[in-house]
Amino acid sequence: MEENLSCPICQELFTDPVVLSCSHSFCKDCLKSWWTEKPTQECPVCKRRSSRSDPPRNLVLRNLCEAFVQQRERKTPGEQECGVHSERLKLFCLTDQQPVCVVCRDSAAHRNHSCKPVEEVTKDLRGNLRKCLEPLAKNLQTAEEVQKEFDLSLAHVKKQFHHTGRQIRDQFGKLHQFLVEEEESRMKALRKEEEQKTQRMKDKMAAVSREIEALSESIRATEEQLRAPDVSFLLQYKAAVERVQRCPLLEEEPQQGPGALIDQAKHLGNLAFNIWTNTKKLVQFTPVILDPNSASGVLVLSESLASLKKGPEQMLPKNAERFKTSSPAVFGSEGFDSGSRTWDVQVRDSDDWILGVMTESGVSVTEGDWCLDDKALGWAIIYSNLKYEALDKKKHTALKLKYRPSRIRLHLDCSRRRLSFCDVDCDTRLHSFSLVCTKKLFPFFANNGREPITILPQEI
């Protein structure tokens, strides 16, 4: 009820309310102050312009407000009456900061104290309390925004989990399939060798069996001849000798020959190493991996995290990682401050890109021009609007190239503090920088075009 009887401007109970032609009511003084700031004489609620500068009073609303106040006072008589004089507490002692009645004001306890009507003091104190609530309201709004951001981050983490898990399963599935095929291939070779050598052994065994059978038959017949009577032995002696002589004697014992056994060394020697070597045909090594958590919302990365291109805007949580970018840009997942590193980037189809190294900061695009944040340090080559530029920290220098390179090699030598750019196809140096910085440097890539730029794999 109190909310319905409150002025939309001061949020207090109506005091001398007036009504506009649009049927909205306000305190007379509140509306006058509002129109003083905005001389168009429009309604503060619906913005409809009032035709009268002195709107009529809303007597019905005033009576309702007075009746509401009286009813509220009747409900809490103990709070509205003085406990000493049983008079209404209509005044507020500013000195003692407490409500008093008329008799209290004239008493010795409050003599010469400054007093004001309760209504005036209440209005001022309500205003002060509302001002005290303003920081809390702002904190509440901030907390609600943070909660929304956390909800978005939670949803993004779930999305990252499922996407990354699927890729891991796919990669292991390929490796599992490769191992299964590799096992089948090696078992097939082993079975083939076993079948060949088993058949060769069986053939030799069959030949030896036939020879054994022939020899056994000759020996048996000759032994029978030896057991014959003398006359029969003599009559068949010549034939027996010829039969024995027809059976050739073995100069050497039968041999299995070389390669009769399975070559286990061939199948088992360095087996795991050989399998690992063959996986080179299946896998690739990319020297620089893009960090999705540093990518802006208009950038699309490939599943291998080696290619980037500009795409539709994505709903991403605010980046709480190392980098904050407001452009189609992304950083490498690893920074370098020692050793020597090399990576090749294919930029053939893109017409707006930047390649280089930067410190842990960000970049932005202003009216089509790339620029660094105040605390950033970077060295790069920029291609935009059919022009090449060298970016040395924050200084832009035009580069005059005779041709458009398709593949660019970046060589970062941290020990010598030097960064070089070369054309891979022509083996020509494009530009080089001397790095006056000892901080960790991260590979940096940006692509403002729809065609991708790709970090090329290296030979293993």
Percent of residues, the chain, with pLDDT higher than 70: 90
As for how many domains the chain has, the answer is: 3
* pLDDT at residue 133, as a whole number: 86
301: β partners: 308
pLDDT value at 75 more than 80: no
pLDDT value at 73 more than 70: no
> Which of 56, 74, 92 is where one domain is finished?
92
DSSP state of 318: -
Q: Do both 297 and 400 map to the same domain?
A: yes
Q: Is 174 contained in some domain?
A: yes
Domain with 359 in it: what CATH number? 2.60.120.920
Q: Do both 271 and 303 map to the same domain?
A: no
Encoded amino acid at 235, one letter:
L
Longest dimension (CA), the chain: 178
CA atoms within 13 A on the CB side of 273: 4
Q: Is 122 contained in some domain?
A: no
Closest residue by Cα to residue 302 from 452, 158, 447: 452
- Cβ contact 409:313 at 8 Å: no
* DSSP H or E run through 308: strand 307-310
pLDDT value at 97 more than 50: yes
Q: Is 22 contained in some domain?
A: yes
Q: Do both 240 and 301 map to the same domain?
A: no
Q: What's the pLDDT tens digit per position in 320-358?
A: 444 445 568 889 989 998 899 999 999 988 888 999 998
Q: What's the pLDDT tens digit per position in 115-153?
A: 888 888 888 888 888 888 889 888 988 898 888 888 888
Q: Do both 29 and 84 map to the same domain?
A: yes
Q: Is 115 contained in some domain?
A: no
Q: Is 445 contained in some domain?
A: yes
Q: Do both 262 and 346 map to the same domain?
A: no
Within 10 angstroms of residue 256's Cβ, the number of other Cβ atoms is 12
Q: Do both 335 and 432 map to the same domain?
A: yes
Q: Do both 236 and 313 map to the same domain?
A: no
> What are 406's two structure tokens?
């398709």
Q: Beta strand pairing status for 418-423 and 428-434?
A: antiparallel
Q: Do both 266 and 318 map to the same domain?
A: no
Q: Do both 212 and 315 map to the same domain?
A: no
Q: Do both 227 and 319 map to the same domain?
A: no
- CA angle 421–425–430, rounded 5-degree value: 25
pLDDT band at 442 (very low <50, low <70, confident <90, very high): very high
Q: Do both 215 and 84 map to the same domain?
A: no
103 or 272: which carries more pLDDT confidence? Answer: 272
pLDDT band at 365 (very low <50, low <70, confident <90, very high): very low
Residue 114 CA: distances (Å) to CA of 117, 207, 266, 299, 311: 11, 136, 110, 68, 70
Q: What's the pLDDT tens digit per position in 13-64?
A: 888 889 988 888 989 888 888 888 776 788 888 888 887 888 899 888 888 8
Q: Is 29 contained in some domain?
A: yes
Q: Which domain holds residue 57?
A: 1-92
pLDDT band at 371 (very low <50, low <70, confident <90, very high): low
Give the span between the Cα atoms of 174 and 184, in whole angstroms.
15
Give the span between the Cα atoms of 155 and 163, in whole angstroms.
12
